[in-house]
Amino acid sequence: MGIYKYIESLRQYFYSVRLHQEILLIDMKFPVDWVINEIIKLEPSTTQLKNSDKSEQHQLISFYCAFEEKAVETAVKDIQRVIKYNKDQEEKVNLLNLKRIELEKIFETNDVNSLRALEFNFTLKTNTPPKLDNLPKNGEK
Protein backbone atom coordinates (compact mmCIF):
# COMPACT_ATOMS: atom_id res chain seq x y z
CA MET A 1 0.00 0.00 0.00
CA GLY A 2 1.31 3.47 -0.86
CA ILE A 3 1.90 6.20 1.71
CA TYR A 4 -1.20 8.10 0.55
CA LYS A 5 -3.45 5.13 1.30
CA TYR A 6 -1.88 4.65 4.74
CA ILE A 7 -2.39 8.30 5.64
CA GLU A 8 -5.90 8.32 4.19
CA SER A 9 -6.87 5.32 6.34
CA LEU A 10 -5.73 7.22 9.47
CA ARG A 11 -6.63 10.71 8.28
CA GLN A 12 -8.98 11.89 11.05
CA TYR A 13 -6.30 11.42 13.72
CA PHE A 14 -3.12 11.60 11.63
CA TYR A 15 -0.61 14.22 12.77
CA SER A 16 2.73 13.49 11.09
CA VAL A 17 5.11 10.84 9.83
CA ARG A 18 8.88 10.91 10.29
CA LEU A 19 11.84 8.75 9.43
CA HIS A 20 14.71 8.79 11.91
CA GLN A 21 17.63 6.59 10.92
CA GLU A 22 15.89 3.26 10.24
CA ILE A 23 12.85 3.93 12.46
CA LEU A 24 9.50 5.13 11.08
CA LEU A 25 7.44 7.26 13.47
CA ILE A 26 3.73 7.83 12.91
CA ASP A 27 2.33 10.55 15.16
CA MET A 28 -1.37 10.38 15.94
CA LYS A 29 -3.52 12.92 17.79
CA PHE A 30 -6.22 11.12 19.78
CA PRO A 31 -8.78 12.29 22.34
CA VAL A 32 -7.28 12.25 25.81
CA ASP A 33 -9.70 9.61 27.15
CA TRP A 34 -8.91 6.98 24.51
CA VAL A 35 -7.48 3.60 25.49
CA ILE A 36 -4.30 2.98 23.50
CA ASN A 37 -1.55 0.97 25.19
CA GLU A 38 -3.96 -1.73 26.34
CA ILE A 39 -5.30 -2.25 22.82
CA ILE A 40 -1.82 -2.62 21.35
CA LYS A 41 -0.91 -5.17 24.03
CA LEU A 42 -3.92 -7.39 23.20
CA GLU A 43 -2.17 -8.85 20.17
CA PRO A 44 1.50 -9.61 19.52
CA SER A 45 3.06 -6.68 17.73
CA THR A 46 6.39 -5.13 16.85
CA THR A 47 4.89 -1.64 17.12
CA GLN A 48 6.23 0.53 19.94
CA LEU A 49 4.54 3.57 21.49
CA LYS A 50 5.61 6.80 23.06
CA ASN A 51 3.31 9.38 24.66
CA SER A 52 4.70 12.54 23.11
CA ASP A 53 2.43 15.31 24.35
CA LYS A 54 -0.85 15.73 26.19
CA SER A 55 -3.34 18.54 26.61
CA GLU A 56 -6.74 18.66 28.28
CA GLN A 57 -8.43 17.42 25.10
CA HIS A 58 -5.83 15.52 23.07
CA GLN A 59 -2.86 13.24 23.40
CA LEU A 60 -0.11 12.95 20.83
CA ILE A 61 1.09 9.37 20.51
CA SER A 62 4.08 8.29 18.44
CA PHE A 63 3.84 4.77 17.02
CA TYR A 64 7.21 3.58 15.81
CA CYS A 65 8.62 0.57 14.06
CA ALA A 66 11.46 -0.56 11.83
CA PHE A 67 11.41 1.00 8.39
CA GLU A 68 10.42 -2.27 6.72
CA GLU A 69 7.27 -2.97 4.73
CA LYS A 70 5.90 -5.67 7.04
CA ALA A 71 6.62 -3.64 10.20
CA VAL A 72 4.95 -0.54 8.74
CA GLU A 73 1.88 -2.58 7.74
CA THR A 74 1.71 -3.95 11.29
CA ALA A 75 1.99 -0.45 12.79
CA VAL A 76 -0.82 0.86 10.59
CA LYS A 77 -3.02 -2.14 11.49
CA ASP A 78 -2.29 -1.51 15.18
CA ILE A 79 -3.28 2.14 14.84
CA GLN A 80 -6.45 1.11 13.02
CA ARG A 81 -7.28 -1.30 15.86
CA VAL A 82 -6.89 1.52 18.38
CA ILE A 83 -9.16 3.76 16.35
CA LYS A 84 -11.78 1.06 15.80
CA TYR A 85 -11.92 0.05 19.47
CA ASN A 86 -12.28 3.60 20.70
CA LYS A 87 -14.79 4.64 18.02
CA ASP A 88 -16.84 1.54 18.92
CA GLN A 89 -16.72 2.55 22.59
CA GLU A 90 -17.88 6.07 21.71
CA GLU A 91 -20.74 4.65 19.67
CA LYS A 92 -21.74 2.34 22.53
CA VAL A 93 -21.89 5.31 24.90
CA ASN A 94 -24.00 7.26 22.39
CA LEU A 95 -26.33 4.30 21.87
CA LEU A 96 -26.68 3.80 25.62
CA ASN A 97 -27.60 7.46 26.07
CA LEU A 98 -30.11 7.27 23.24
CA LYS A 99 -31.69 4.10 24.63
CA ARG A 100 -31.78 5.66 28.11
CA ILE A 101 -33.75 8.62 26.72
CA GLU A 102 -36.13 6.28 24.90
CA LEU A 103 -36.64 4.27 28.09
CA GLU A 104 -37.28 7.42 30.12
CA LYS A 105 -39.98 8.43 27.63
CA ILE A 106 -41.59 5.00 27.94
CA PHE A 107 -41.61 5.34 31.73
CA GLU A 108 -43.04 8.85 31.58
CA THR A 109 -45.91 7.90 29.28
CA ASN A 110 -47.01 4.52 30.70
CA ASP A 111 -48.56 3.43 33.97
CA VAL A 112 -46.87 1.11 36.46
CA ASN A 113 -48.85 -1.99 35.44
CA SER A 114 -47.80 -1.59 31.82
CA LEU A 115 -44.18 -1.08 32.85
CA ARG A 116 -44.18 -4.30 34.90
CA ALA A 117 -44.74 -6.19 31.67
CA LEU A 118 -41.82 -4.44 29.97
CA GLU A 119 -39.30 -6.93 28.56
CA PHE A 120 -36.12 -6.61 26.61
CA ASN A 121 -35.59 -9.02 23.74
CA PHE A 122 -32.01 -8.99 22.58
CA THR A 123 -30.29 -11.78 20.70
CA LEU A 124 -26.51 -11.94 20.87
CA LYS A 125 -24.73 -12.83 17.68
CA THR A 126 -22.65 -15.99 17.96
CA ASN A 127 -19.63 -14.34 16.39
CA THR A 128 -19.28 -11.54 18.93
CA PRO A 129 -15.69 -10.66 19.80
CA PRO A 130 -14.35 -11.57 23.24
CA LYS A 131 -15.06 -9.18 26.09
CA LEU A 132 -12.38 -6.75 27.09
CA ASP A 133 -13.52 -6.52 30.71
CA ASN A 134 -10.10 -5.49 31.95
CA LEU A 135 -10.02 -2.40 29.73
CA PRO A 136 -11.44 0.90 30.89
CA LYS A 137 -14.34 2.37 28.98
CA ASN A 138 -14.12 5.84 27.46
CA GLY A 139 -13.72 8.42 30.17
CA GLU A 140 -12.54 5.94 32.82
CA LYS A 141 -8.98 5.86 34.04
Nearest to 47 by CA among 17, 72, 82: 72
Report whether pLDDT(137) > 80.
no
Distances (CA, A) of 37 to 15, 50, 66: 18, 9, 19
Mean pLDDT score, 79-98: 96
Q: How far apart are CA 140 and CA 134, in angstroms?
A: 12
The pLDDT of residue 7: 86
Mean pLDDT score, 112-128: 81
Nearest to 67 by CA among 27, 17, 29, 30: 17
Mean pLDDT score, 67-89: 95
CB 54 within 8 A of CB 32: yes
- Prediction pTM value: 0.79
Q: What is the DSSP string of 74-107?
A: HHHHHHHHHHHHHHHHHHHHHHHHHHHHHHHHHH
Using one digit for the tens of pLDDT, what is the confidence trace for 8-30?
Answer: 888 899 999 999 999 999 999 99
Nearest to 39 by CA among 137, 139, 125: 137
What CATH number belongs to 3-116?
3.30.1360
The pLDDT of residue 122: 81
Report whether pLDDT(95) > 90.
yes
Report CA 89 to chain centroid distance, whole Å: 6
Write out the H or E segment, with its range, that includes residue 30. Answer: strand 23-31
